[in-house]
Amino acid sequence: MKVYFPNFAPKLSVMNKTRTLITLLSIGVFLSANASTNLTNAAYSVSSKIVSSFEDRFTADAILGYWLHEDNVVKIQMEKIGRKYYGKMVWIEKPNFPDGTLKTDKFNPDPELRDVPFVGLRIVKDLEYKGNGTWGGGTLYDPEHGKTFGCKITLDSEEEAIVRGYIGFAFIGKSVRFTRVNG
């Protein structure tokens, strides 16, 4: 019996890949108890390909590099300092306020930091790699409002990241998509 499994693994998000893997492993266990060897081997083959691509694609340092906001308004450079990950603004579409002055962190709760320019400002701090293409446990700073949020970054692929800023719990927040770009 021939079984056709399309090459769908690279198109799946991390969550969908995990669900697919669990489903395929469950099918493999069921098939090994109830069906032919060829079909069982095919299911195990597909699940092992998903596991290997899943593990190979998302290393802790996969987040490093330059990322452009989905609306092309800011470019962030993600870097590693010690064991944690940080992101700073290296380019913004509109570097000046409407009055023509350079954008600075004028809403920062700390008055001593209000003259720091946006470009070069570290807005992602203290992220730790949690595994499976996810970084969390850090913060995301919004310099336009002077607010700090919890932060979680998940790679959808090697070229796409979803950055989620939240208050308290990750499900109470907002996500934006970033695309990997050259420096």
Map out the domains of the chain as residue ranges. 9-57, 60-181
Query: Is pLDDT above 80 for 168?
Result: yes
Reported as a single tens digit per residue, the pLDDT across 53-77 is 445 478 999 999 999 999 999 999 9
Report the CATH number of the 60-181 domain: 2.40.128.520
CB of 177 closer than 8 Å to CB of 157: no
The two counts, helices (H) then strands (E), for the chain are 2, 8
What pLDDT was estimated at residue 156?
93
What pLDDT was estimated at residue 58?
86
Q: Looking up tokens 């692929």, which residue turns up?
A: 157
Query: Is pLDDT above 70 for 84?
Result: yes
Provide the mean pLDDT of the chain: 80
How many angstroms separate the CA atoms of 47 and 41, rounded?
A: 10
Report in angstroms the alpha-carbon separations of 57 from 22, 165, 180.
18, 24, 15
